[in-house]
Structure 1
């Protein structure tokens, strides 16, 4: 993509965020766009948000499980940024009007106590950098009509990020085997999905390693205090006004998100 095409793609996504109106897939308008182009679009969007007072507070790995890759029709993970405005309090109503077409995913959340920067980050480095883990619910959202996304679309759209709800009980990484930790997802009391940590690249810690080694060569360090979401343990489930969503993870406890229909 040349500079003018890049600028136009950023403008389209910005309008979708502002108007809450989804747009046609970017790959339709820019068929030659590559994943590298898409990350340039994402980085420009995030830079503009930070300049407007919404700084980066973490990162997410998307499409880390085989289930999510099948659901979205892609064959590799991607990553996005978590900004301050994306964090919502557990049990407090979240206006669904903040989103276009939200879905929800249960994830382990890593909270870092030391910096991580690749390349060359190992599992040992990643384990040492984690301060504690929390159960979390990620709200994924797409500014692309009907979730008709190719990899370029979701990357450019900040890895389809929408929001995150963190649980309030921290657990030391050494106190739980994340590979074997089972998860249930209930919406309005109905079981809608089950999964386990092993669905996320074999272990959520592998996703943290992948992220550090992927963004490091771009000059990005995963900072102390930042939250890293490694990927969903189940398929994503749509949410609507009035829904109450509870994810329960073995060894980590539960986290609850409540959605209202009120304006943001």
Structure 2
């Protein structure tokens, strides 16, 4: 990589980092710089991560994205990607989320794995993941794109931390609580002021098998991808395994609830700070 190319990647990282803070999206990187490849995109992501850490954030985990056909179709992406999680991105179950801290947020329902020992190497299997997992947690991942109008290619979303913005984390249960592939999710989104009115609630359903056949296989895939970068999944990290259904737009005044049967549930409401006091800002 040339010195000029390295400078460009750092400049693009700063541009995306500032876009998240000002909530002013930027044109697609892939259109303005068609020579960018996947390695460049991950280099940009690492630069953004370094800026976050320099600002006091602490790494807490990872996410693998574009693992289901629904999400691949939605964003015209045909390859799993990954991003990082920091402590500033993790939010408690039941949080009141201020949507004005994002650009164009969406939400997905999925589960996350709490990893109890290091996982690395090109031969990691789903069983290895299950053996290393201390608990699985229902989560709502809030996506946001610092790219204008979600006009993303794989390069754009990878550079933009796999379009991740925040994660609402529910209570964990042992990984052997049920067959994760057969588990069913019901994601309900409705008017927060009329949450008991069934006609005002939209339902999205999905199964664990939508995530590469089994959510643990998705995490194993992440470990194998990371091996190509000379790294892996560290003990203690929370790993998001991928969405079980489509991503849904978030607007103020919504009640969002994802139920995973015996695996538990997780919820949040969305607010606008101008009309609701006490909101939780994530930016």
Unaligned runs of 5+ in 1: none
Gaps of at least 5 residues in structure 2 are: 196-200, 274-278
The CA distance in 1 between the partners of 2:139 and 2:21, in whole Å, is 26
State the SS of the aligned residue for 2:262: coil
CA contact (8 A) 1:88 1:94 kept: no
Equivalent residue for 1:175?
A: 177
Matches within 5 A, 1:1-264: 2-168=5-171, 170-188=172-190, 189=195, 190-262=201-273, 264=281
Q: Distance in 2 between matches of 1:164 and 1:205?
A: 19
Whether the aligned pair in 2 keeps the contact of 1:91 and 1:256 (CA below 8 Å) is: yes
Secondary structure in 1 matching 2:176: helix
Classify the secondary structure of the residue corresponding to 1:13: helix
C-alpha deviation, 1:11, in angstroms: 2.1
- 2:132, 2:40 → 1: CA distance? 31
Deviation (angstroms), 1:32: 0.7
Q: Which range moves more in the overlay, 83-92 or 150-159? A: 83-92
Give yes or no for contact 1:94–1:260 (8 Å, CA) kept in 2. Answer: yes
Q: Distance in 1 between matches of 2:231 and 2:52?
A: 17
Distance in 2, Cα, partners of 1:167 & 1:3: 40
Cα distance in 2, alignment partners of residues 177 and 37 from structure 1: 38
Aligned to 2:252, the other structure's residue is in SS state coil
SS in 2 for 1:175: coil
SS of the residue corresponding to residue 270 of structure 2 reads strand
Per-residue Cα deviation, 1:52-85 (whole angstroms, up to 9, x for no partner): 1111100001110001000000111100001110
* Equivalent-residue separation in structure 2 for 1:43 and 1:118 (angstroms): 20
**TM-score normalised to structure 2 length:** 0.90
Deviations 1:215-254 (A, max 9, x none): 1332323122211001000000001112110001122121
Query: What is the total number of aligned residue pairs between the two structures?
Result: 263
Instruction: Supply the distance in 2 between the matched residues of 1:15 and 1:192 (Cα, whole angstroms).
Output: 35
- Mean Cα displacement is larger for which, 117-126 or 44-53? 117-126
Give me the CA root mean square deviation: 1.3
TM-score scaled by length of structure 1: 0.96
- Whichever of the two has the greater Rg, that structure is 2
* Helix, strand or coil at the partner of 2:226: helix
Conservation of the 8 A alpha-carbon contact between 2:95 and 2:168: no
